[in-house]
Chains A and B, each alone.
Chain A
């Protein structure tokens, strides 16, 4: 019961935040953050900093006190707006004049946005802390020279479930896509509200490539998704962890970071990368092309890559940090679940990236047909 009440509290708190009710007023921290964090602010040319910095971030990705820490050290006011899917963010950036300086596209979206000239070239010389990042997380397919993006967090997509409600332990996507298996959990299952993740998972279930945009494959995936839909509670990418922790859903396609948060609150939550395969992803920080605040944005990205700040981010999100110096600094709660949500060498073999398709809109079309059905 204790954890249920906690889940409820979380829900109420988060909805206050979600509705923009949370007051933007900040209380100035009393400690001099510059010395406390031991950063490299000495090398920053303060005369080139802007007054404000606007960040468009994934929901609950930037710890609440981080903008204040940055502001008290550099005198730059940071505002954070949030989104819950790459496509939602991209729609705003492509429309132009978004007013945002920094966005957090995932791997394939970095490639799509860079291709459309929506991202600025980053001057890595202004981001010395990039040296803290694991070389394995740098130079990936979507941005081979990290010209446009710096890793923020990485993780995987698989299945989270409550072991007291779902047995035997699922090992395959079929638990989510085979109506015969899924119907046992009708109304207590959610899928991510994300066109690429959901269609990708259906493709894996069908034995296809997770990135396939072949019309026949898309048609087959659409059919599977339409059969699945009536059995779902919802498509949700916002607060899967609350739903899992509170028992609102017992089975969910999820990111490992949400699963980690749910595990911290509810010890019955388990995580599996299905046998057919899962998705590996990396969310990044990128600078919107044409922003007058590029230098400030780079200083902010550097700030976020300080080990203690990156560890704070990992604790807050329960995601995997690419920052090798931050990993030893993460809190006890996250440390306890870290081995469960970090893919093993065995898991790694079944993971692959979502890649930008030749025809990105093909996924959108299937997705809107499924959702509006």
Chain B
């Protein structure tokens, strides 16, 4: 017997390892965080079982949290925008090389991954520190020292550096699939350079842009290591607040409330973004 039902059952069976994995290690902790977010904190820093909305009330009244959230979002948007602008021409360049070259270029983009991310971030500190390589070079000419770390720019710079491959690769994948004959067709039909890009190339690589933007935005908005190492006291991102609450401040309940709100806002923003890019796409390519 070969019917739709057994086919479906087989599909579930095949998916079950992944589903069980996600259920245990993603869904269950998420439910736990949701439950924690309605509890309190005992005097010794453990979770006190006492259902209430207190954490959320405190959170909504907490001006520092909303500033933190705004700073995180702003940094993540800037990082996403700059990586997109920098990566698109590079991905274009890569996709238009000979297939053999392309492989080498993709490899070149991947190579930095082989070094631990934190080591690369510390390298920025060594470069830009008050007594770092750049400042000591400037010192030779009696310039500086410039204060280049412990501020938002240092964090943004290091994040752009770290996230670039996540933007380049999806863009490259989208551009590689693109049928270049369409560009010639557009030019033949009288479209200018800009119009060709805007109305032909861009819409068809939009899935790559969407994927790249989300791949960059999500880890960036939640980062805590980069802001911790390069941000000094001036950059507190949501990730830093979370690591504080779950770490030394030992207020898991409040930390859980922060993550719930953060997750909901992030989810909302991403859905909106998907919807918007979808509409652009549909508008450009009716049918």
Contact = CB atoms under 8 A, between A and B. Distances in A.
Interface of A: 4, 7-8, 11-12, 15-16, 18-19, 21, 85, 87-88, 90-91, 94-95, 112, 115-116, 187-188, 195, 229-230, 232-235, 246-249, 359-361, 364-365, 367-369, 371-373
A372 B68 contact: yes
Contacts of A361: 41, 43, 45, 250-251
Given A91-B246, A372-B236, A372-B244, A112 B129 contact: no
B45 A248 contact: no
Contacts of B236: 371-373
B156 to A, nearest CB: 17
Interface of B: 41, 43-46, 64-65, 67-68, 116, 118-119, 122, 125-126, 129-131, 136, 147, 150, 232-234, 236, 240-241, 244-251
A248 B248 contact: no
Given A372-B65, A373-B64, A87 B250 contact: yes
Q: Which 8 A-B pairs rank lowest in CB-CB distance, beginning with the nearest?
A: A87-B248, A15-B122, A247-B131, A234-B232, A19-B118, A364-B249, A368-B249, A232-B233
Given A364-B248, A372-B68, A91 B45 contact: yes
Question: For chain A, what secondary structure do more than half of its interface residues adopt (helix, strand, loop), or is it mixed?
Answer: helix
Given A187-B147, A230-B234, A15 B41 contact: no
A248 B234 contact: no
Nearest to A8: B126
29 contacts: A8-B126, A11-B125, A12-B126, A15-B119, A16-B119, A19-B118, A21-B116, A90-B250, A91-B248, A91-B250, A94-B250, A112-B44, A187-B130, A188-B130, A233-B130, A233-B150, A235-B233, A246-B129, A246-B131, A249-B130, A361-B43, A361-B45, A364-B249, A367-B248, A368-B251, A371-B236, A371-B244, A372-B244, A373-B236
A202 to B, nearest CB: 15
Nearest to B63: A373
Contacts of A373: 64, 67, 236
Q: Which of A18, A85, A187, A188 has the most CB of B within 10 A?
A: A187
A88 B243 CA distance: 10
Contacts of A18: 118, 122
B130 A364 contact: no
A19 B233 contact: no
A360 B64 contact: no
B116 A364 contact: no
A21 B115 CA distance: 10
A15 B118 contact: yes
